[in-house]
A and B are shown apart, each in its own frame.
Chain A
Amino acid sequence: NAGVMQNPRHLVRRRGQEARLRCSPVKGHSHVYWYRQLPEEGLKFMVYLQKENIIDESGMPKERFSAEFPKEGPSILRIQQVVRGDSAAYFCASSPGLAAGELFFGEGSRLTVL
């Protein structure tokens, strides 16, 4: 009965490198959400995906950030050419469907950009 699994839990990158964060939703959940939590700030919505589709990416920065949720495998949040301001905790959540009540959150991936 695994919950939402995120990896890596901690990731250190130098400026200019790429960061890939993975999220395996609760088994049977087809909806995945990514959130970012910056130091001293709240949880900010980034993107909402269903299998193979991006439903809402209104919270995604226009450049360097992308997300996917393929038919097989985990959802991936990709950050290209990272900058220090990307340092944050990135949380993934899943739900079984639209308006399905609570979101199940992972433990988060903490990205540090040196």
Chain B
Amino acid sequence: SQELEQSPQSLIVQEGKNLTINCTSSKTLYGLYWYKQKYGEGLIFLMMLQKGGEEKSHEKITAKLDEKKQQSSLHITASQPSHAGIYLCGADENQGGKLIFGQGTELSVKP
């Protein structure tokens, strides 16, 4: 079955700095989803990527999917304390709607 590996596992950055989180799949991705989870809360949808080479942005967050559709990156520009949380990438394993998730990247932003 498909596996997703995220790196780094945790990240501490100074407010205002840029950062990148990576998500690598063992198989070609049909769809790649980025979610954010705050401690003790549910998951908030950020972005979905489906086409090789696709790039999407929302406010200061940009997500890309490589041409081979096996790797995605999430880039945050000028990080703020509100960006802190756990970022999870999820993949649609077989176009059946079920998502599998990476282990998450815990982001802390120091004021």
- Could you say which of A14-22, A67-75, A90-98 contacts chain B? A90-98
How many chain B residues touch A (Cβ–Cβ < 8 Å)? 23
Contact present for B99 and A103 (CB under 8 Å): yes
Contact present for A42 and B102 (CB under 8 Å): yes
**CA distance in complex: A87, B98 (Å):** 23
**CA distance in complex: A81, B95 (Å):** 35
Q: Which B20-64 residues have a C-beta within 8 angstroms of A?
A: 31, 33, 35, 40-45, 48
Q: Which B95-111 residues have a C-beta within 8 angstroms of A?
A: 95-104
Contact present for A99 and B43 (CB under 8 Å): no
Report if B76 contacts A (CB, 8 A). no
Residues of A within 8 A of B88 (CB): 42-43
Contact present for B42 and A31 (CB under 8 Å): no
Report if B15 contacts A (CB, 8 A). no
Q: Which A11-69 residues have a C-beta within 8 angstroms of B?
A: 31, 33, 35, 41-45, 48, 55-56
The number of A-B residue pairs with CB atoms under 8 Å apart is 64
**CA distance in complex: A42, B98 (Å):** 15
**CA distance in complex: A56, B42 (Å):** 22
Q: Who on chain A is nearest to B88 by CB? A: A43
Contact present for A102 and B101 (CB under 8 Å): no
Report if A86 contacts B (CB, 8 A). no
For chain A, the bracket of interface size reads 20 to 34
Q: Who on chain B is nearest to A9 by CB? A: B40
Contact present for A105 and B42 (CB under 8 Å): yes
Shortest beta-carbon distance from A20 to chain B in Å: 19
Q: Who on chain B is nearest to A92 by CB? A: B42
Given A42-B104, A45-B99, does the pair A102, B45 have CB atoms closer than 8 Å?
yes
**CA distance in complex: A78, B40 (Å):** 22
Q: Who on chain B is nearest to A44 by CB? A: B101
**CA distance in complex: A48, B94 (Å):** 13
* 10 interchain pairs, CB-CB under 8 A: A4-B42, A42-B102, A42-B103, A42-B104, A43-B43, A45-B100, A48-B96, A97-B97, A101-B31, A102-B33
